Structure 1
Amino acid sequence: MRRDQLDEQEWQNVLRHADVLRRLPLRPTAGEVSDAMAELSISRATLFRWLKRYRTEQRAAALISRQSGRRSGIDAFDPALKTIVDRNITTFYATPERPTLTRLWKRISSDCRAGRMPPPSIRRLKTYLGTLDVEALTRRREGKARADAQFLALPGEFSAQHPLQVVQIDHTKVDVTVVDPIERLPIGRPILTIAIDVCTRMVLGFYLSLEAPSVTSVALCLTHAIIDKTRWLQDRGISLEWPASGLPGCIHVDNGAEFHARAFKRGCDDHNIVVSYRPPGTPRFGGHVERLIGTMMGAVHLLPGTHFSNVLDRGEYDPEARAVMTMRELETWLALEIIAYHSDLHRGIGRPPVAAWNEAISVRPPRHVHDPLAFLIDFLPFEPRVLRRTGIHLNNICYWSDGFAPWIGRCDEMVLVKYDPRDLHQVFVKLGGNYLMAPTRNPGRPAITLWEQKAALRVQRARGRRETDEETIFQTIAAQRTLVEQATKETTQTRRLRARRAHLQARPEILASAPADEPVITLPHFPVEVWE
């Protein structure tokens, strides 16, 4: 029993007992012992037991009545039984399969019978487990993440002192099914890539895609983060403000392959952006963006077609049947939700993020890029290629620009070729420090995506073709598109293929950082040919 569990009367009795023991000399006489026994109404053995405890601890609380049962530090089993128990705990109980206490007890009992010794009771076994390292057991049974969430102390916090000093980026699968813009049939759940400023908690930008996270989705999210969003919002019919923009000083990311890609690293180095990686298996180091994602997904759960957080919450709800939003509509909805998030009180900083941002940038203005288009190109994936007399050959497609002519025969080294996987209609070749846009050698061919190109190659190889020429690729893609358009009953996969290339036909605005009186920059086709 602890001192704080005693009532006042019991505590006063303990103090009285301690006062009697305190008056006894180091070697008390028989008369002094008899007097103390009479005053405390205890036996001689109890008197000397109390006296030993009091003199060992030198405190009155040592005289509080001990609870009955086995004292701590006393081994619960004899050596032979302990060997059996420890072996079964290590090899059976402390495993990812997480056997129950009852199954552990049955296994130990079986071993004990084989060794002709009495098994321990299940209550005694449970008490023994309580004396072991609970954190180590949890780590072995439930994994490091669960053990850290339960036992890891987090006394500090990850913070930044000024805006854009640290920006966190992460991906998540959105908890809602989207539909294609033509038939309004479900095509799956998109992937959201989002960036947040750690200092002010402002969302800097995001990007929605039907594809897995890649260096291209990171590049488009970063480009959206650094641009002025006025024209981007107007294009989506939003008259509200989203003032966050500028180059980050440090990007804090996890260890995904897209964040270790050459294009991402080189783009960051070129723009003096430090890349900081979280330790593997430690999502708590990305707590700001993780909480933001949780907030956004909590809002998404109110949309038709939501998938909820788990199966129990979903019940009989059918997300595919209830889905109504296209990618474009979901993008607009997320933008409005983010703007509302900026104006709401943030408990982490004690004020709305937009107020913190406006105050911070008045003291320390952010860095801006002069050409958002060139910034995006810097982060696109690339391949080194030889500049031939016939042009640049990439992905079994030949590209040509009249700007290649002065370099033919004078370029001894491989050149850097950047490409947008969403549109292989042109590439960007770095010559003399500038990017030169080179379209396909046959401009009349339609724009295609990298996914379509790879699918066409798979079809040709399945037919036994070892070498595939450019004409075959485009003919195969044209035939595949015809099949998709003529299908009377579209599958989810074909609807996704059509949605993937929707931007190639509609030419939607991707970047829009220019003022209202300047031309709008669009992707994937670029209105200029050379960038300084």
Structure 2
Amino acid sequence: MTEPLPDEVDDAQWAEACRRAVTIRRFLESSSGESSVAAIADLASELQVSQATTYRLLRRFRKDRTVMSLIETKRGRPTGHRALDAQREAIIEKAIRKYYLKPTRPTVSQLVRDIETDCASEGLKPLHRRTIERRLGDLDLRHRAQRRGETETVKATMPVPGTLNSSRPLEIVQIDHTKADVFVVDEETREPIGRPWLTLAMDVFSRMVTGFYLTMDAPSRLSTSLCLLHSVYDKTVWLKAREIEESWPVAGLPDRVHVDNGADFRSRAFKRGCENAGIAIDWRPPGTPRFGGHIERLIGTQMGRLHLLPGTTFSNAQDLAEYDSKKHAALTLRELERYIALDIVGSYHQSIHSSLSRPPLAVWRDHEGEIPLRLPEDRLQFWVSFLPEQERTLRPTGIHLFDLRYWSPALSADVGRTERRLLVKYDPRDMSRVFVRRPSGNFVEARYADLTLAPISLHEALTARRTLREKGRREVDSRAIVRTALEQRKLVGEAVNRTAAARRGKAQSRRGDDLRDTGTLRGVDSSKPVPFVEDTE
């Protein structure tokens, strides 16, 4: 059976596994892992399972320390599965939205009657009240309270405003996006292609930038995930690839990430990936920008430095005046990424921060040894949890993705033996490798089938493909196409005429043969003797 990814697990199973993970982590921290009979009995009681199951859960959790290790795989219908037909599900959803989520606060009984009426009008079997109540229980409590005007419930579900403080490195990491105040140019043509988006992550305690991601695409689950991956892992190789000699010592899993309410931070894959690694997520209350003040100030600082670059848009129209940003744009996306990295490690980290009265790097160095570095137990599993994905068929020539071909010897055993499309995870920053989930459930790393190819980003690959297609269109000789089409049309017409003439000739020949004298008399049966008539003259 294929092992699911975190975002493929049923919601109820995931919630229970998260509860168990919190309980077991607390047990391990408080007891230093002691497993006395009394301690296990107390833990089993808190987990609401038998002692045998408790030992099994502890053993599995100690192995990789993830929420996924506590997921119970069951046979049969998944927990939370709904067997109700789609038509009646749609009626329930529409009725809740149309009749129930109203400031008049209709009762559940009224909702049940409305749904019964809708089912009857469609000739469908009525629904049990408990089915409708379960659907109401699935609603987000705050959303329901806001739509129904239940102010007390809204207040009860609203976080209490306060100052965001941190007591140690990586306790809280803030992540946010901004559109860069500068235009970039294409790698090949050096023509302006637009303003990129910058995703930044910052450690609240030390004010160190933990990672960033620069892309031409709008903020998404992808940019958020890649920024987090950049934050967690060691950056030595990354810096070396960009010819940067300054150090960037930040690495490790944060305890909490603090983000806004954007859809990218609410994606199922992002939430499950964080929960699986033991990273809590705090969403800023809507309309409360003060909760993101640290990262907002960092973004303002970084944008201010970009105003010194050619192609800047400045921060307002007054500063821009008659400056033509597109005309003066000079840096490519890759060059801008290196510029930002140099500014972070060589200037921002080394400068005195107004709130700390010290450089962020000095604060980090003072405290980085106070807590053990927490890295993902299963690096590959953590990595692929946050990467984007596609489904592809395994061909004898390998995996084909974005006009690039990948191969791994581990895939040889699967060629021609499965009709299922395989899940392929890829890193848009480096398309030289992908991660393929085999039918067995294990991920394997597949590299370029052509080992002579250099690593490129997805943006570069797509741009190159688009450039080739445009070049191909420019190389098309429209007149030659028209001339060829007319010549083909003439050829077909002449062929049809010759064939028709030949067939007419054959038909006439057959008719001539029928009229030609062959020594027999038409209309006379030659098999009978002709009576002799004597000439009397």
Tell me the TM-score normalised to structure 1 length. Answer: 0.50
Tell me the TM-score normalised to structure 2 length. Answer: 0.50
